[in-house]
Amino acid sequence: MRIGILTGGGDCPGLNAVIRAVVRKGVKEYGYEFVGFRDGWRGPLEGLTMKLDIAATHGILTKGGTILGSSRTNPFKIEGGVEKITENLAKLGIDALIAIGGEDTLGVATKLDSLGVKVIGVPKTIDNDLNNTDYTFGFDTAVNIAVEAIDRLHTTAESHHRALVVEVMGRHAGWIALHSGLAGGASCILIPEVKFSVDQVCKWVESRFEQGYAPIIVIAEGAIPQDGDMIVKDQTLDSFGHVKLSGIGEWLSAQIESKTDKEARTSVLGHIQRGGTPTAFDRVLATRFGLHAITAAHDGDWGKMVALHGTKIERVPLASATTKLKTVDPELYKEAEVFFG
């Protein structure tokens, strides 16, 4: 069998570990050939490929990013895009695809599966918001990076008696904010799932100062104030219809300063959360996903995604990953509220 592999959407620590596991097991146990498609769905759309054999995977386990490159290309938004993909797959002798990606990439894979393309999906996102899997690789690395930043910001905040707002990624789901805020001892955590009161945040800030501490506020980029809307960088959209988020941290800092007369600063972690070496947890999870993905392909179990349920890797319908977002349960958020203020 000749299998194509692609990585789409935002880059993420652990992508290379998946590629390595798929190729190693596929070649050694099944004798398969692999073709790497470059830059997400742009690869099969434009016929952009690279050789993928065991030699190509040497030394990539610890590397962040993806050796295949990525993009946010949506073939369903391009005239004749799907036809071009099927033509290129046939021309290259590709029997099946393994698509590694998040909501958008796997959404395209689901549509192609319904059109007869043989696809296996592997879930990837630092946001941990894909449905029907307990965790996605990249999330643990992002949380660890955010926690390290919060730990460092505690000392500078206390030295200068400032409130520090730490803005982390999370468009619709506050998993990174919740986990990093809890692990980093934040004074409050603000997530997209629960609209926040600026006045209440200011009360928590003042309470923390009264206790002799400098407050750290962890906020997801998609968090929304009770009397406002999501703050966006501009009105441009990517090919999947997403706006660019930016500015909620700066906005909140300005509100805190004006309402409390306390100095406030913002640290936007941004793409730092997505880069660098994956944690051991993410390397192992990504490797296991890759091993099970190629096994599913060998079994001919198309239209499936590999998923983590407890400690087991199981196969679930590919479509189930994108039917809804996995967001933070309000009850879980309430558990964290005891530490606010």
> Please, which residues have CB within 8 angstroms of residue 260's CB and are 6 or more apart in sequence?
163, 202, 205, 206
**Residue 238, pLDDT above cutoff 90:** no
Q: Of 11, 39, 113, 127, which one is the catalytic site residue?
A: 127
> Please, which residues have CB within 8 angstroms of residue 268's CB and are 6 or more apart in sequence?
167, 246, 249, 250
Give percent above pLDDT 70 in the chain.
Answer: 95
User: Considering the domain 2-137+278-321, what is its CATH architecture?
Assistant: 3-Layer(aba) Sandwich (3.40)
Query: Is 227 labeled as catalytic in the residue annotation?
Result: no
Q: What pLDDT, on the 0 to 100 scale, is given for residue 8?
A: 94
Q: Which CATH class is domain 140-275?
A: alpha beta
**Residue 100, pLDDT above cutoff 80:** yes
Give the confidence band of 234 by pLDDT, cuts at 50, 70, 90.
low
Q: Are 78 and 108 in contact (CB under 8 A)?
A: no
The residue-averaged pLDDT of 252-258 equals: 95
Q: Which residues pair with 316 in a beta bridge?
A: 305
**Residue 311, pLDDT above cutoff 80:** yes
Q: What pLDDT, on the 0 to 100 scale, is given for residue 245?
A: 58
Nearest to 289 by CA among 266, 261, 321: 321
Q: Fill in the amino acid letter for 245.
A: L
236-240 CB contacts, 8 Å cutoff, 24+ apart: 238/72, 239/72, 239/73, 239/74, 239/77, 240/72, 240/74, 240/104, 240/107
Q: Which two tokens stand for residue 274?
A: 């997505």
Spans of all domains in the chain:
2-137+278-321, 140-275
The residue-averaged pLDDT of 255-265 equals: 94
Q: Which residues pair with 315 in a beta bridge?
A: 306
What is the rounded CA–CA span in Å between residue 63 and residue 3? 23
How many Cα atoms are found within 13 Å in the side-chain-facing hemisphere of 26? 31
Q: What pLDDT, on the 0 to 100 scale, is given for residue 247?
A: 85
The residue-averaged pLDDT of 74-80 equals: 92
pTM (2 decimals)? 0.92
**Residue 214, pLDDT above cutoff 70:** yes
**Residue 236, pLDDT above cutoff 80:** no
Q: Which residues pair with 98 in a beta bridge?
A: 5, 120
Q: What pLDDT, on the 0 to 100 scale, is given for residue 243?
A: 52
Q: What pLDDT, on the 0 to 100 scale, is given for residue 160?
A: 87
Provide the CA 87 distance to its chain's centre, in angstroms: 31
Place of tokens 């319908």: 317
Q: What pLDDT, on the 0 to 100 scale, is given for residue 319?
A: 94
Three-state DSSP class for 168? strand
**Same fold yes or no, 2-137+278-321 and 140-275:** yes
Q: What pLDDT, on the 0 to 100 scale, is given for residue 241?
A: 52
**Residue 240, pLDDT above cutoff 70:** no
Q: What pLDDT, on the 0 to 100 scale, is given for residue 110?
A: 95
Host H or E run for residue 81: helix 81-91
Host H or E run for residue 97: strand 96-101
Mean pLDDT of the chain: 93
Provide the CA 3 distance to its chain's centre, in angstroms: 25
What is the rounded CA–CA span in Å between residue 228 and residue 335? 25
∠ CA 7-13-14 to the nearest 5 degrees?
70
Q: Which two tokens stand for residue 124?
A: 């990837």
Q: What pLDDT, on the 0 to 100 scale, is given for residue 61?
A: 97
Backbone angles phi, psi at 273, to 5 degrees: -65, -20
Q: What pLDDT, on the 0 to 100 scale, is given for residue 158?
A: 86
> Please, which residues have CB within 8 angstroms of residue 124's CB and are 6 or more apart in sequence?
7, 9, 12, 14, 15, 18, 100, 101, 102, 105, 136, 137, 138
> pLDDT by residue (tens digit) across 119-147?
999 999 999 999 999 999 999 999 999 99
Backbone angles phi, psi at 159, to 5 degrees: -65, -35
Q: Which two tokens stand for residue 203?
A: 């009360």
Place of tokens 């033509």: 87
Nearest to 126 by CA among 116, 141, 108: 141
Write the Ramachandran bin of 290: left for phi over 0, alpha for psi from -120 to 50, otherwise beta: alpha
> pLDDT by residue (tens digit) across 263-302?
999 999 999 999 899 999 999 999 999 999 999 999 999 9
What is the rounded CA–CA span in Å between residue 105 and residue 99? 7
Give the confidence band of 255 by pLDDT, cuts at 50, 70, 90.
very high
**Residue 242, pLDDT above cutoff 80:** no
Q: What pLDDT, on the 0 to 100 scale, is given for residue 115?
A: 94
